[in-house]
Chains A and B, each alone.
Chain A
Amino acid sequence: MTVLSHLRRPRRLSLAIAAAVLGMVPLVASAEWTLNMREGVTEISHKVFDLHMLILWVCIAIGVVVFGVMFWSMFAYRKSRGAKASKFHESTTVEIIWTAIPFVILIGMAIPATGTLIEMYDTNDSEIDIKITGYQWKWRYDYLKEDFGYFSVMETHQDELYNRAEKGEHYLLDVDEPVVVPVGKKIRFLVTAADVIHSWWVPDIAVKRDAIPGYINESWTRIDTPGTYRGQCTELCGKDHGFMPVVVKAVEQAEYDEWVLAKQEKAKEEFELQSKEWTLAELTERGEAVYAKNCAGCHQANGQGLPPTFPSLVGQGLAVGAIEAHAEIVIKGSPGTSMPAFGGQLSDVDIAAVVTYERNAWGNDLGDMLEPKDVSGLK
């Protein structure tokens, strides 16, 4: 949190203008204005930070020399000071020198950069493998050896986005379920995407990998300090690109083990729900939550959508047509449009719930329901 964001709006504005008018100096003086890259919490992120600082200082040093000569020339050789122009216009020696020196500096920078890069590419001997899949606009995490997975969706409320509610401390950077990892273990990320290209980035661990449909990219980390580390999607992926944060929670091994057990238990319960007898009310209730998490981004909380790209579900189209066709588009998606196939994303129960909800919400009151056991037949 910055100091300024606590202030009332006019005050912030006037401060910012003052800062703008006075130039960058007062900004640098204030520690609240973050200026530099984060050092992060892994060995790799420290190396990247050191590399960044090395190049930065090299650039500053070159800048001081070059701009120094330039400003000196602008000061000392002004015509108004009576400067007479020399006529020299070439010197092979000088030109060879200033071709050679940068070359040597570049080699000096390439060596540490190469070393760090080789380390970043070494994904061998991982202890935990997490498959990360980018969706429009959420992340899915699958723990491959532990055999469970879940979606992670931004939790910041729409009211905060539209300035109807006070913005929380982790505005835009909070998710419902973070990626949980143990400290001190080598974790391999397998990054891919289901629709368009996304990019998974957590600055504090210096991992950024594009999530590309049809590709599985690899990266790895070993976090030393427990804590919560936040990042965002960094590849433009459509309208809610700014709203798919990444949250990594690094915990002690014991806490991690407990969390894995609970997750596995929950997956089992979800599976058992499949054979349960559902009532319309139960399904609608569950469906509302599923809808809010998976559908409201496009079709909106009130079902009206954002036509023509995201059609309305209220009183028209498949949502009030034959129930099989309705379920089918949810399961298989609509190729060539933004409607994804939810068959692989949601459980049978959730698909049944959301279809039932859509048919009975916003005045669609059709009164019919889709049973979870019927969903598998439609897949």
Chain B
Amino acid sequence: MSAVIDSHHHDDHHHGPAKGFTRWLYTTNHKDIGSMYLWFSFTMFLLGGCMALVIRAELFEPGLQIVAPNFFNQMTTMHGLIMVFGAVMPAFVGLANWLIPMMVGAPDMALPRMNNWSFWILPFAFSLMVSTLFMEGGGPNFGWTFYAPLSTTYAPPSVTFFIFAVHMMGISSIMGAINVIATILNMRAPGMTMMKMPMFVWSWLITAFLLIAVMPVLAGVVTMMLTDIHFGTSFFKPEGGGDPVLFQHVFWFFGHPEVYIMILPAFGIVSQIIPTFSRKPLFGYASMVYATASIAVLSFLVWAHHMFTVGMPLAGELFFMYATMLIAVPTGVKVFNWVSTMFKGSLTFETPMLFSVAFVILFTIGGFSGLMLAMAPADFQYHDTYFVVAHFHYVLVPGAIFSIFAAAYYWLPKWTGYMYDETLGKLHFWLSFIGVNLTFFPMHFVGLAGMPRRIPDYALQFADFNMVASIGAFLFGTTQLLFLFIVLKCVKGGKRATASVWEGAEGLEWTIPSPAPYHTFATPPKVN
């Protein structure tokens, strides 16, 4: 957000930001790095979104009309990888950079130079990954879950570049997570005890521990792929005594905590926003913290619910079924707490609140389908169908991504010093809300009716709902250009924002002027 550079800072530091490109290249400022993360993530969101639109265009009607099946598979794979690792995760890291120091009263992140490196790895990692699409044999075409041996023995040659890109993303994430933990544990202002921290900070602290725990597992699994492909090992090759199911166990031991990495910060965001616009403190703060921690712990014990059909022994199926069902309890607690926060409040519905309320409703719908998927016998019918696609898009798009929109609108006035255009913001919300539901709700129906996921063409009985979904996807996709316009407009100017911005806002970030000065809390504030 370039408006941050204007010289409204009221502290007594001599140096402001440097000029030109080197400002961004060399910066160690958490606000600059946060902005870069957010812009990067939005770029990836549009790129991954374009790939989704290629998919939806091909699936608009039965038959093969726009892309060949192999390219279709590259699109589904790259869409998933880019959205997970390029859009959602960096967006949350960007928000963490911007907000955590301001929320705990710290002058910057604990390890600013490493922070710079965490970010600058990403453009290179993703350029490398996207460049595989132009290589001989094409890019990754084995799904974002890259199950071996399709991703090893049967993969296109570019898979090696994919592996290297994943290693780079992993390093970036681990460094980002170390930074978050170091900042939160060491740099809180006097009086900011752990149980006084804003929920966003809590949820990120827990997320960071998840990241440190599982990103090395992802690095391990891709390294095993690498040695299988190039160095003659047989981790996943049955003909050499290896085990393709081992891949899935290791992958999902990373993969399931990973999905909570993408939703816990979202919980934190809506736990900040709903109290503000309800003008009432968050209901059950302590139980929110404990629920988030429980979800994080349980996330390590449920990975094989992604694998109910691989033929695990009965005892294994039962264990993972029960453990998965248990997650509904702390998740339910969170939803009940949000609803209770709204109950008997004094509610207004500015854009951040609209996105947060939609988050609670639509995430809960995604949670319901998740509970259904947890039932192993029923999962045999749902597994790898569009029902699953509907489920995880409900928790990721109107879940994670709506929370990111909510956060952007909520803190944009603090970042830029100007209010965004409320009318356009609401328009963005309603178009997104309609688009998301048109796209993903019909997927429940085609999934139950028997449409497998990741297919470039489908039987005729699925045609009608697929057409509806494609129309919804184009509506949702084009609407995001409106978001870009709203943000740019807000960066350029508009109504001046006050320090507290929102009537009901609480927290340290609302005590500093808007826009937030380049350096904040050089002297720690006192928290009572």
- Contacting pair A77 B136 (CB below 8 A): no
Map CB proximity to A onto B223-260 as digits: 1 under 8 Å, 0 otherwise.
00000000000000011001111000000000000000
A70 to B363, CA, bound (A): 14
A77 to B353, CA, bound (A): 14
- Contacting pair A110 B321 (CB below 8 A): yes
Contacts of B161 in A (CB 8 A): none
Q: Which residue of B lies closest to A100 (CB)?
A: B329
| Contacting residues of chain A (71-109) with chain B, CB-CB under 8 angstroms | 73-74, 77-80, 83-91, 94-95, 98-99, 102-103, 106, 109
A97 to B471, CA, bound (A): 43
A334 to B70, CA, bound (A): 20
Segment at the A interface, from B13-21, B49-57, B402-410, B449-457: B449-457
Contacts of B120 in A (CB 8 A): none
- Contacting pair B137 A48 (CB below 8 A): no
- Contacting pair B339 A70 (CB below 8 A): yes
A309 to B70, CA, bound (A): 11
- Contacting pair B381 A5 (CB below 8 A): no
Map CB proximity to B onto A186-228 as digits: 1 under 8 Å, 0 otherwise.
0000010001110101010011111011110110000000000
- Contacting pair A59 B372 (CB below 8 A): yes
- Contacting pair A171 B460 (CB below 8 A): yes
Contacts of A170 in B (CB 8 A): 459
Segment at the B interface, from A141-149, A239-247, A251-259, A260-268: A239-247
A212 to B154, CA, bound (A): 14
A238 to B147, CA, bound (A): 11
A141 to B310, CA, bound (A): 19
- Contacting pair A206 B380 (CB below 8 A): yes
Contacts of B284 in A (CB 8 A): 89-91, 95
Given contacts A20-B471, A102-B329, contact A79 B282 (CB under 8 A): no
Partner of A239, one of B141, B384, B441: B141
Q: By CB atoms of chain A within 10 A, which of B242, B245, B450 has the most?
A: B450
- Contacting pair A208 B283 (CB below 8 A): no
- Contacting pair B472 A113 (CB below 8 A): no
- Contacting pair B345 A83 (CB below 8 A): yes
| Contacting residues of chain B (128-161) with chain A, CB-CB under 8 angstroms | 136-138, 141-143, 147, 149-150, 153-154, 156
A86 to B441, CA, bound (A): 36
Contacts of A77 in B (CB 8 A): 278, 342-347
- Contacting pair B342 A234 (CB below 8 A): no
A65 to B142, CA, bound (A): 42
- Contacting pair B70 A89 (CB below 8 A): no
- Contacting pair B326 A55 (CB below 8 A): no
A249 to B496, CA, bound (A): 71
Q: By CB atoms of chain A within 10 A, which of B329, B332, B463, B464 has the most?
A: B464
Assess whether B39 is interfacial by the CB under 8 Å rule: no
Map CB proximity to A onto B434-452 as digits: 1 under 8 Å, 0 otherwise.
0000100110010011101
| Contacting residues of chain A (31-86) with chain B, CB-CB under 8 angstroms | 32-38, 47-48, 51-52, 55-56, 59, 62-63, 66-67, 69-70, 73-74, 77-80, 83-86
Q: Which residue of B lies closest to A233 (CB)?
A: B452
Partner of A36, one of B280, B385, B448, B459: B448
Assess whether B461 is interfacial by the CB under 8 Å rule: yes
The interface size bin for chain B is 35 or more
Map CB proximity to B onto A334-355 as digits: 1 under 8 Å, 0 otherwise.
0110100000000000000000
Closest CB of chain B to A343's CB: distance in Å?
14
- Contacting pair B238 A74 (CB below 8 A): no
Segment at the A interface, from B58-66, B162-170, B264-272, B509-517: B58-66
Contacts of A309 in B (CB 8 A): 70, 137-138, 156
A113 to B378, CA, bound (A): 8
- Contacting pair B372 A212 (CB below 8 A): no
Closest CB of chain B to A152's CB: distance in Å?
17
- Contacting pair A214 B377 (CB below 8 A): no
Q: Which residue of B lies closest to A201 (CB)?
A: B452
A61 to B182, CA, bound (A): 44
A212 to B332, CA, bound (A): 36
Contacts of A74 in B (CB 8 A): 342, 347, 349, 357
A-B contacts counted at CB < 8 A amount to 319
Q: Which residue of A lies closest to B332 (CB)?
A: A102
A242 to B376, CA, bound (A): 25
- Contacting pair B346 A83 (CB below 8 A): yes
A338 to B141, CA, bound (A): 13
Segment at the A interface, from B295-303, B311-319, B411-419: B311-319
Contacts of B368 in A (CB 8 A): 59, 62-63
- Contacting pair B149 A240 (CB below 8 A): no
The interface size bin for chain A is 35 or more
| Contacting residues of chain B (317-349) with chain A, CB-CB under 8 angstroms | 317-318, 321-322, 325-326, 328-329, 332-333, 335-336, 339-349
Closest CB of chain A to B34's CB: distance in Å?
30
Contacts of A9 in B (CB 8 A): 61
Closest CB of chain B to A169's CB: distance in Å?
8
A238 to B150, CA, bound (A): 7
Q: Which residue of B lies closest to A47 (CB)?
A: B377
Partner of B455, one of A117, A197, A241, A308: A241
Contacts of A235 in B (CB 8 A): 147, 384
- Contacting pair A1 B454 (CB below 8 A): no
A37 to B141, CA, bound (A): 30
- Contacting pair A242 B372 (CB below 8 A): no
Partner of B372, one of A17, A55, A95: A55
Assess whether A237 is interfacial by the CB under 8 Å rule: yes
- Contacting pair B318 A171 (CB below 8 A): no
Given contacts A16-B464, A67-B361, A95-B284, contact A106 B346 (CB under 8 A): no
Assess whether A167 is interfacial by the CB under 8 Å rule: yes
Contacts of B213 in A (CB 8 A): none
Q: Which residue of A lies closest to B240 (CB)?
A: A214
Closest CB of chain B to A187's CB: distance in Å?
16
- Contacting pair B375 A213 (CB below 8 A): no
A66 to B310, CA, bound (A): 35
A70 to B360, CA, bound (A): 10
Assess whether B351 is interfacial by the CB under 8 Å rule: no
Q: Which residue of B lies closest to A217 (CB)?
A: B311
A173 to B462, CA, bound (A): 12
Q: Which residue of B lies closest to A196 (CB)?
A: B150
Contacts of A206 in B (CB 8 A): 377, 380-381
- Contacting pair A86 B344 (CB below 8 A): yes
A94 to B368, CA, bound (A): 22
Partner of B339, one of A59, A66, A79, A209: A66
A and B contact pairs by CB, cutoff 8 A, 25 listed: A1-B460, A12-B467, A13-B467, A27-B464, A27-B465, A34-B448, A37-B449, A38-B449, A48-B380, A73-B345, A83-B345, A102-B328, A102-B332, A110-B322, A113-B376, A163-B63, A208-B383, A214-B239, A215-B311, A235-B384, A238-B141, A242-B455, A242-B457, A308-B137, A309-B137
Q: Which 9 A/B pairs are nearest by Cβ-Cβ distance?
A: A214-B238, A242-B455, A217-B311, A59-B368, A85-B346, A234-B384, A89-B281, A16-B467, A34-B449
Known: A113-B375, A214-B238, A336-B153. 4 other contacts (CB 8 A): A47-B377, A84-B346, A169-B460, A238-B73
A interface residue numbers (CB < 8 A to B): 1-2, 4-5, 9, 12-13, 16-17, 19-20, 24, 27, 32-38, 47-48, 51-52, 55-56, 59, 62-63, 66-67, 69-70, 73-74, 77-80, 83-91, 94-95, 98-99, 102-103, 106, 109-110, 113-114, 116-118, 120-121, 136, 160-163, 167, 169-173, 191, 195-197, 199, 201, 203, 206-210, 212-215, 217-218, 231-243, 306, 308-309, 335-336, 338
B interface residue numbers (CB < 8 A to A): 61-65, 68-70, 73, 136-138, 141-143, 147, 149-150, 153-154, 156, 238-239, 242-245, 278-287, 309-311, 314, 317-318, 321-322, 325-326, 328-329, 332-333, 335-336, 339-349, 357, 360-361, 364-365, 368, 371-372, 375-378, 380-381, 383-385, 438, 441-442, 445, 448-450, 452-461, 463-465, 467-468, 471-472
